[in-house]
Structure 1
Amino acid sequence: MHVPVRKQLIWWGAAAVALLVTMWLLGQAILPFILGAGLAYLLDPLADRLERAGLSRTMAVVVITIGALLIFVAVILLIVPVLIRQATALIDTAPEMMAQAHGFVAARFPELLPEGGTIGTALSDLGKAMGDQWSNVAQTLMSSLGGVISAVAILVIVPVVAFYLLLDWDRMVDQIDRLLPREHAPVLRRLASEIDKALSGFLRGQGLVILILGTWYSIALMFVGLPFGFFIGIMAAVLSFIPYVGVLIGGVTAIGVALFSFWGDPLWIGAVIAIFAIGQVVEGNYLQPKIVGGHVGLHPVWLLLALSVFGALFGFVGMVAAVPLAAALGVLARFAIERYRDSALYTGQTPPADPSPPILVELAPRGTVAADLRDAQLKVDRARARAEIETQREDLERGRN
């Protein structure tokens, strides 16, 4: 007997609500476990590849863990301090750059910024606000970031959770597959495969693109001597997951800093522009098509919406879980649209009724039924004769007594 669709929807809806309530109530407590699970998910293909190369699962996980810890320590010691220092210096210098830009425009194009005009007053107020507040904001953000990085939960729990989940990842997937409702198991496997393809394609592909662009932008900008070039290059690469946003924000910031630092030397200003032009050409014509591809199905606008909504609802935990949830919701939305197009609501036609069970007809040689009837009648006669003999025997026994 099939479970009614309405009851199934209630069960699945209750499970989704329970998940959201858990994220809302226990967000900070489960954050290390979410990060550990995400790290194990990203590293599982590498562990599988090492297993195919001849290593045991345990040895593969140990090698990956040691490598990941070395990379993490190197990033914390070598890259993060430079980023923090350059970001703070850029924020401190921004009011001076804006004041210089305001003076240049006011001197060359006085009709654009008349004295006492709205635009000029707004720019002046913005420069003052930046000078007064941005340093405090930067110090707060950097101290918060340092607190997050130095937290015991992040440094200890995340690697431990990632290690054990990566060690048992394949067995966990098999156990979850066994727990799937048997009626819906094929559909759930298909949806899980599509979610995995979308999520892994975006995270691994876009992560590799960010790594390549970050290396190119930061090294090239540092080579031409642009102040804060390392921070600007990393910022432009990280924002490149949104098409044109990374190159736009990073390019405008870099060109503004170049105009402020290299004024009167157009060669280096042109070099900064060329760096971002080359990066954009390579990203658009090679990196995105070859590495990320068009099959990912995770639109940047959809991703930004997920980041905004889940971040507002669940804070930092929601922003961490926004990418996998956006991938899952995107696949479920496409599945719902597919079912809608097959439904009577879209086609306007009632779907055909399920066919009735077939009637099985057995073909036998002529006379088979008559022979079976004779055999059955013979058995009945024999049983009746035996019963009469038993009755007569009992009567004789009673007469003797």
Structure 2
Amino acid sequence: MTLRQQVWFWVATFIGLVLFLLVFSSILLPFVAGMALAYLLDPVADFFERHGFGRLLATLIILVLFVVVFISVLLIIGPLVGSQIAGFLEELPRIVTGLEALITDHIGPWLHDKGLISQAQVQSSLGDIMGKAASWLATVLQSVWSGGQALLSIISLLVVTPVVAFYLLLDWDDMIARIDSWLPRAHQQTIRELCGQMDAAVAGFVRGQVLVCLILGTFYAVGLLLVGLKFGLLIGLTAGLVSFIPYVGALAGFLMSIGVALFQFWPDPLMIGAVLLVFATGQFLEGNILQPKLVGHSVGLHPVWLMFALFAFGSLMGFVGMLIAIPAAAAVGVLARFGLRQYLSSPFYAAAPKATNKLEELE
């Protein structure tokens, strides 16, 4: 097979994969989630195997423990989060109205005294911002809870995902060995090395980031509850769980908590400062302890590239796309670095430039 034929083969394979994901994206969520769960738990199964357990028994133990822990956490936290969501949605109009009045009565006059903006402009701009925010929130809630499709997706996720994870986890090593046997013999070692680098990047980021999100969600939730912030559990868990998108989780949680804190505690600067301190401490822990220790700096996923991949795949395929985004970003990063190394070691890069006629005359 010539180089041109190899290029066309891999291009056709890539296009076929993209079309498959786009066509079946509406039903892929439980299968992708099951694959992600099996990938995360495979090292645990290997650990049990090294200590004398069979693969079937190890898989059963892991999934039973996972389901028990998941259901226990859901039963304990679920009602609390559900009640906070209902309370937050019920009180949201009052919070928006209170913040609007606060900005108009206190921040607007200060800006007017400084000559930066007129009072009428403050009210007009504020009305536009609040209107757009309310419209956006209504659209999000409608898309989340509309029709039976959301309920069907949740049921399929809870029922199908453990089944898919069980079979994939049980056959994971055999599946990898079979795929390895299909690799073209001439490029087998190169493909193995590239796949190993992709696996290291994905494993280092995903498994570490899951722990980071859980720790941050717990820290923010407990911290905001201790401060006495309304809906602190909901805001803290949301900020922590969305922290897999760099900066977005912390920023979203910070804005939500500050908005509620201003509405609840104004004009008490001590309580508002306490909310700020919770998020400042969380960011310090994430940047200086959690990320370096649990994720590391060698995963090869730049935050900007990761954010682009998450938003791009999320806009194309929803939550399924966000699950696929990290492996895809890692794969593209590994392939890009491999291509760059090939280019830098090629004669095309290393060839000396031809001397011009004028230089030849001087010589």
Q: Normalising by structure 2, what TM-score?
A: 0.86
Higher relative contact order (CA 8 A, sep 6+): 2
1:147 aligned to 2:151? yes
Residue 116 (structure 1) aligned with residue 108 (structure 2): no
2:189 pairs with 1:191: no
Paired amino acid for 2:105? A
How far apart, in 2, do the equivalents of 1:308 and 1:46 lie?
31
Q: Any conservation in 1 of the 2:306–2:326 contact (CA below 8 Å)? A: yes
**Matched ranges for 1:6-25 at <5 A:** 6-25=4-23
Q: Deviations over 1:70-118 (max 9, x none)?
A: 133234433344334434543443443343333333333421663432x
Q: Matches of 2:245 and 2:24 in 1, distance apart?
A: 30
* Structure 1 residues 330 and 148: alpha-carbon distance in aligned structure 2, compared to 1, 3 A threshold: farther
Deviations 1:310-337 (A, max 9, x none): 2333444323211111111111111111
Cα deviations by residue, 1:253-280 (Å, 9 ceiling, x for unpaired)? 2122122112243332232222112211
Q: d(CA) in 1 for partners of 2:139 and 2:329? A: 34
Offset at residue 202 of structure 1 (A): 0.8
Return closer, same or farther for 1:116/1:274 CA change in 2, 3 Å cut-off.
Answer: closer
Once residues 276 and 316 of structure 2 are traced to their aligned partners in structure 1, the CA distance between those partners, rounded to angstroms, is 40
TM-aligned CA distance change 1:38 to 1:106, over 3 Å: closer
Q: Could you give the per-residue CA deviations for residues 168-204 of structure 1, whole angstroms, max 9, x where no partner exists?
A: 1111111111111110000000001000000011110
**Aligned residue in 1 for 2:303:** 300
1:198 and 1:327 in contact (8 A); partners too:
yes
What's the Cα RMSD here?
2.5
Residue of structure 2 in register with 1:213 after alignment: 216
Where 1:116 maps in the other structure, the secondary structure is: helix
Measure how far apart 1:309 and its partner are.
2.6
SS in 1 for 2:298: coil
Q: Measure how far apart 1:219 and its partner are.
A: 1.2
Which structure 2 residues correspond to residues 375-390 of structure 1 after superposition, within 5 A? none
Closer, same or farther in 2 for the Cα pair 1:192/1:217, shift >3 Å?
A: same
Residues 259-268 or 134-143, more deviating:
134-143
Return the alpha-carbon distance in structure 1 between the equivalents of residues 140 and 214 of structure 2.
28
- Secondary structure in 2 aligned to 1:332? helix
Name stretches of at least 5 consecutive residues in structure 2 with no aligned partner: 354-363
Q: Name the CA shift for 1:104/1:319 in 2 (closer, same or farther; >3 Å).
A: closer
Distance (Å, rounded) in 1 between the aligned partners of 2:100 and 2:351: 63
Look up the match of 1:339. Answer: 342
* 8 Å CA contact retained: 2:99, 2:262: no
- 2:186 and 2:224 map into 1 onto residues whose CA distance is 57
Matched, 1:162 2:165: yes
Q: 1:92 to 1:113 in 2, by over 3 A?
A: farther
Structural mapping, 1:237-252, within 5 Å: 237-252=240-255
Contact 1:106 1:113 in 2 (8 A): no
User: How many equivalent residue pairs?
Assistant: 346
The question of whether the paired residues in 2 share the 8 Å contact of 1:47 and 1:61 is answered with yes
In structure 2, do the counterparts of structure 1 residues 246 and 276 end up closer, same or farther at CA, with 3 Å as the change threshold?
same
Question: Which residue, out of 127, 130, 133, partners 1:127?
Answer: 130
Instruction: Report how far residue 130 of structure 1 moved.
Output: 5.2
Match of 2:181 in 1: 178
Distance in 1 (CA, whole Å) between partners of 2:84 and 2:142 is 12
List alignment gaps of at least 5 residues for structure 1: 351-401
Compare CA radii of gyration and give the structure with the larger one.
1
Pair 140,81 (structure 1): closer, same or farther in 2 beyond 3 Å: farther
- Tell me, in whole angstroms, the C-alpha distance in 1 between the residues paired with 2:163 and 2:283: 39
* Alpha-carbon distance in 2 for matches of 1:346, 1:292: 35
Distance 1:127 1:222, change over 3 A: same
Matched with 2:270 is 267
| Paired amino acid for 2:348 | L
Alpha carbons of structure 1 residues 335 and 159: separation in structure 2 relative to 1, 3 Å:
same
2:44 to 35, 43, 46: 46
Give distance in 1, aligned partners of 2:280 and 2:340. 39
SS in 2 for 1:55: coil
Q: CA deviation at 1:236?
A: 1.6
CA distance in 2, matches of 1:177, 1:136: 46
Distance 2:331 2:26 in 1: 22
- Pair 1:136–1:313, CA change in 2 (3 A): closer
Tell me which of 66, 69, 93 is aligned to 1:68. 66
Q: Which residue matches 1:375?
A: none
- The residue number in structure 1 matching 2:361 is none
Percent of counterpart pairs with the same letter? 45
Equivalent residue, structure 2, for 1:5: 3
Q: Does 1:104 align with 2:99?
A: no
Q: Which amino acid aligns with 1:162?
A: A
Structure 2 SS opposite 1:28? coil
Which of 228, 249, 254 is 2:231 aligned to?
228
Cα pair 1:102 1:123 within 8 Å, conserved? yes
